[in-house]
Amino acid sequence: MLITENILLALAGLKSNIMRSLLTMLGIIIGIASVIAIMTVGNSITVMVNTQMQEMGANNLTVGVSAKSTSEESTTSGLHFGAGNRREMDTEDYLTDEMLDSFLQEYGDNIKYTLLSSSVGSGTAMDGDLYAYVNITGYNEDYMDYTDLTLLAGRSFIEKDYENAQKVCIVSDYFVNNMFDGDTSAALGSSIEVNVSGKYYTYYIVGVYEYENDSYSSSSTEDTTTDLYIPYDTARAQLHTENDGYESITLVTTIDTDSEAFADTVENYFNVKYYSNNEDYEVTVTSMASMIESMTTMISTIELALAIIAGISLVVGGIGVMNIMLVSITERTKEIGTRKALGATNGSIRLQFITESVVICIMGGFIGIILGIVLGAVAATYMGYSASVSVVAIVVAVAFSMGIGVFFGYYPANKAAKLNPIDALRYE
């Protein structure tokens, strides 16, 4: 009951001296607003990075061949000429189909997909006046399953297409709009010719997929480049790279597999079995999950550092509150004496002034939160991220401003509570 009385009293006090109250709150407002703004921007970036990386696949492991860092190189590379002059990657350094097959025999249960792709290049399909820009990439069967295209018409690739390296392709509805005036049935079975930097490739259209315009690229125009899917083996045949190994392979693990731990197993398997005698190259495996984690950690560390710096202004704001409380108590010495004569205990005087300080801080905190959200949203939008407010930050900010109120209000309030009623009554 005394609490409500005190809150009403504090509000009346704030109202009676609006200018002073606002100036006192300003420190808290600026402090809370900057913390919230920074947290909002940081949160927006984290959410954005996470969704983008999740889209790329949290269960993906990239198995790549990379240069070995020898102890000699890392310590004396500056002294030895030619130490950095490692030999080019050779045929025997690449990952081979045999390696992959024997690996899959052992660990196939953990692998959902083995993604292989080979890019033929970007080119232009032309037919008289009609044209469309495409990216030609060959994908293996697993990759096609993994990508899970939404087919509007026709079919996906069949085993024969891969085995015989058939010159078949799946095009986007966008492509059909440009080249066949949207007539899907006319498109199916037709052959198209694509010019990739002077080389001509011909494919038969067997399927049409729904083009998903991703929100981050510019709105679709006539000139949008869409993907043209061909079988992996077809791409390799056309590029004459059938017998080459792979510089990198992407593995998609099953959901039950701990992809981060599995990454080490894979790395060990290849390095012990195939690369132990290779002096210059080794296999490294990176998991998307660990990349997401390290990115998130990095962003939150930066965010925390900035928030702490902003938090310093909160302390300054708190000192401002304390200063005003001390002034206010001196001004109201006689009132304190009167209250004590009327029966106020030290505790109720203390409560009155702590409430006043907390009310100032919480009001400042609320204004700060609103200001911070607005600032953060504007900044995030300006930087090209969709703003996402950190709920944790708001809860923490409210609790923190209350804490500041109690902390910086306690000393003045205690001073008031301990005033001698006789001296206080006599104070002019």
Partner 1 sequence: MAEELMLDLRNIHKSFFIGTPNEFEVLHGINFTVNKGEFVSIVGQSGSGKSTLMNIIGALDRPTEGEYTLDGVDIEKAKDHELSALRNKKIGFVFQTYNLIARTNALKNVELPMMYAGMSRGERTDRARMLLEQVGMKDRMHHNPDELSGGQKQRVAIARAMANDPAIILADEPTGALDSATGRLIMDIFHKLHEEQGKTIVLITHSPELSQETERIITLKDGTIMGETAGNWPAIKAKEGM
- Provide the binding-site residues for partner 1, judged by CB under 8 A: 1-2, 5, 9, 12-13, 16, 334-335, 337-348, 421-422, 425
The CB-of-18 to partner 1 minimum distance in angstroms stands at: 13
Give yes or no for a contact between 177 and 198, defined as CB atoms under 8 angstroms apart.
Answer: no
User: What is the residue whose two structure tokens read 């962003």?
Assistant: 299
Residue with Cβ nearer partner 1 (87 or 426): 426
Contacts of 101 (CB under 8 A, 6+ apart): none
Which CB, 155 or 426, lies closer to partner 1? Answer: 426
Instruction: Select 220 or 346, whichever has its Cβ closest to partner 1.
Output: 346
Instruction: Look up tokens 């010495």; give the residue.
Output: 333
Closest separation in Å from C-beta 2 to partner 1: 7
Q: Which is nearer to partner 1, 391 or 422 (CB)?
A: 422
CB of 45 to partner 1, least distance (A): 48
Residue in 86, 107, 84, 99 with CA at minimum distance from that of residue 248: 99
Rounded Cα gap, residues 220 and 235, in angstroms:
27
The least distance separating partner 1 from the CB of residue 28, rounded to whole angstroms, comes to: 23
Instruction: State the sign of the Cα–Cα–Cα–Cα dihedral 324, 328, 330, 336.
Output: negative
**Nearer residue to partner 1 within complex by CB, 11 or 83:** 11
The whole-angstrom separation of Cα 77 and Cα 290 is: 30
Instruction: Please tell me the distance from the alpha carbon of residue 367 to that of residue 66, in angstroms, as a whole number.
Output: 54
At closest approach, how far in Å is the CB of 333 from partner 1? 12
CB-hemisphere CA count at 13 Å for 276? 4
Q: Which is nearer to partner 1, 5 or 97 (CB)?
A: 5
- Rank residues 59 and 348 by Cβ distance to partner 1 and give the closer one: 348
Q: How many residues does the chain have?
A: 428
Burial class (CB in 10 A: 0-12, 13-18, 19+), 89: middle
What is d(CA 49, CA 170) in angstroms, rounded to the nearest whole number? 31
Nearest approach, Cβ of residue 336 and partner 1 (Å): 10
What span, in angstroms and rounded, lies between the C-alpha atoms of 352 and 311?
Answer: 27
- To partner 1, the closest distance from the beta carbon of 6 in angstroms equals 10
